[in-house]
Chains A and B, each alone.
Chain A
């Protein structure tokens, strides 16, 4: 079920009504309702993959119980290994099997050996990368004794499959989300209103910004040889907004929906395109994944404790693994490696923690220097996004080479019109994002606006845009494929 579909618009109020009006005073029944709703939500795509979630849930639930009952280090390690092997094994099979086979065959062919290895026609279960990491965090945190195991299977299963963030995050830590299933939740009007506001903004990002960019971007990227340099550059910039609108839009809807049910999820995007350097960008982009890798990979690898070169090595590992997490393609690995290269000078000069606050804090406008830094950082990300979006590394390089021809814009006539509309929409979008940059999401600033008329006008414009740009059958979110 897509968030941006009529199905979800019917599903959400039904679950909300049952949750607060029918099962209001019964925590276990509320959790059971969430579990059932989550399985319905996920099964809407393909019910067969529910068995995978259920299997993963049972494995980690049992591992959690066993870990809590033994002090034997060997057994504890074995239990953790089982959890990691099962979870990453499933992820590896469904997501990376064909990639490894093809790479293996290609590698041998370089030396003149022709291998006959067959790839499989594997369907990638939606959201497997997200819930796998979420359940892994549970096993690892229990192993590290950061939290207590969950006795309540329904609560645990609800945590694993919590429908707002099941298929595209934020990747929640068990330490944050699981306890919320164990405690009674009460309805907070302000929190719920903020949730509605965040859902509205998320829908705007996805339906209006991302999907409108996609129409132009898809056409140009699939025939990039036919376009001039400036057009390709415009397409790359639009893709930057598409992926941001798509992914952060999903996160906003997920977080907003959770708030309606009394849950708090972590912030996943903090206005990354207002970053002044690439390190700041990575503190603001897909925060739940970046911090997951920091806590469960970077720090166990030694983090920054083993000297500068260890730090450089670990940074590269993190970025490349992060790229590979996105998909079984060399383009994602190149994207990760390129970001690591961007990051390297800041790391070596010790300037990677220079910009920790928000840009132009307590000011309306940024300084010229800040504008320059923001634009330069954005440009770096745009170049990296070309790898992310292209079908192959060769295509990405060819695309970037063509950009350097710097010829004029040559959109098709229809795209030219769309581009004009998109410029107006992006201006509105960036203004709201800039205005609300010190909050959790752009539109949250409305909570602090005292002029009701202004609020009504802005909300109305957003609702109007949603009505006009909504694709009724829903359009898939990019991150579903990851």
Chain B
């Protein structure tokens, strides 16, 4: 028995080193078909790399935005700037409360915002957080707090992505910068992504039936509880989506009911009647720039911020 365990241990150690090297090399240099479980969307979509790089250079801001693509495509720092507010958008693709909480805890001290906007919509609570975890693990400079976020997502590929992120951090960082424009998306300083020259209005409904994930709701409530505890002003906002999409969000009522039952007031801008599906959106649930301007101006009015 001793011989068996000794030999197994020797090979586990030796193979462990080689497997780590293979994982590191494949993550850096091979395409996803060679490593289907290892997702590393580095500089891949949503400009998370540029956003997380930029945020590290910021110190004092007025408005911090968290949320999924509705956030980083819906809150434009340039419009807030005109009203005298400095906004930083920490939204990211398919972000869920697991990632919002990580980003909030990681950056709130340095950014010291006057108000935090948490962009919510039923989808924010309905995803398991895997996609966004891969996105953040691939694009964020590694730190051990990422482990907490990974453990909440709690799936094998997210642990693998975390492991890669850890090992990758030992090597010199990739110095190639992310382009400012990818396809018809342009990165705007402050974390915003502007849709330039949108193609035809895409009216494909992208989601099947979904329901709120209890753990995500709990994480959200833990995050707002943390904000209250540190005396941080925050608002829960539901940015506009098309009427059709809004109507088909069958669980939007559930979301509001659950959040309001827990003392969270949702500022729902879907009652905002000046927006029309064809003029202010480029697909069923994302505002085009005309829509962003209209929504942001209205939002600034509603928020009545006093950050001086």
Contact = CB atoms under 8 A, between A and B. Distances in A.
Interface stretch (B2-10, B103-111, B252-260): B2-10
Given A456-B15, A459-B15, A469 B22 contact: no
A472 B19 contact: no
A468 B156 contact: no
A196 B14 CA distance: 16
Contacts of A452: 14
Nearest to A192: B4
B201 to A, nearest CB: 26
Given A468-B38, A472-B155, 12 more contacts: A193-B7, A417-B33, A418-B33, A460-B14, A460-B18, A461-B22, A464-B19, A464-B26, A467-B37, A469-B36, A470-B37, A472-B156
B6 to A, nearest CB: 9
Contacts of A463: 15, 19
A419 B18 CA distance: 26
Nearest to A470: B37
Contacts of A421: 33-34
Contacts of A464: 18-19, 22-23, 26
Nearest to B14: A456
Interface in A162-209: 187, 189, 192-193, 196
B160 A467 contact: yes
Contacts of B26: 464, 468
B59 interface: no
Contact of A470 (B4, B14, B18, B156): B156
Q: Which of A20, A421, A460, A468 has the most CB of B within 10 A?
A: A468
Contacts of A457: 18
A interface, size bucket = 20 to 34
Interface residues of B, number: 24
Contacts of B14: 452, 456, 460
Contacts of A460: 14-15, 18-19, 22
A6 B155 CA distance: 11
A192 B7 CA distance: 11
A20 B15 CA distance: 26
Interface string A48-76: 00000000000000000000000000000
A361 interface: no
A187 B2 CA distance: 11
A189 B3 contact: yes
Interface in B12-40: 14-15, 18-19, 22-23, 26, 31, 33-38
Which 6 A-B pairs have CB atoms at the shortest separation, nearest pair first?
A: A460-B18, A189-B3, A189-B4, A472-B156, A464-B22, A468-B35
Given A457-B18, A467-B23, A470-B156, A20 B1 contact: yes
A459 B12 CA distance: 10
Q: Which of A6, A455, A456 has the most CB of B within 10 A?
A: A456
Interface in B128-176: 155-157, 160
A187 B1 contact: yes
A468 B36 contact: yes
A189 B36 CA distance: 35
Interface string A460-482: 11011001111010000000000
A455 B31 CA distance: 26
8 contacts: A189-B4, A193-B4, A456-B15, A464-B19, A464-B26, A467-B37, A468-B26, A468-B38
A204 B17 CA distance: 20
Contacts of B22: 460-461, 464
Contacts of A192: 4
Nearest to A24: B1
A461 B1 CA distance: 26
A189 B19 contact: no
Contacts of B34: 421, 468
Contacts of A470: 37, 156
Nearest to A20: B1
A421 B30 CA distance: 11
Contact of A456 (B11, B31, B160): B11
Contacts of B31: 417
A171 to B, nearest CB: 29
Contacts of A6: 156
Given A460-B15, A468-B38, A420 B23 contact: no
Contacts of A20: 1
Contacts of B19: 460, 463-464, 467
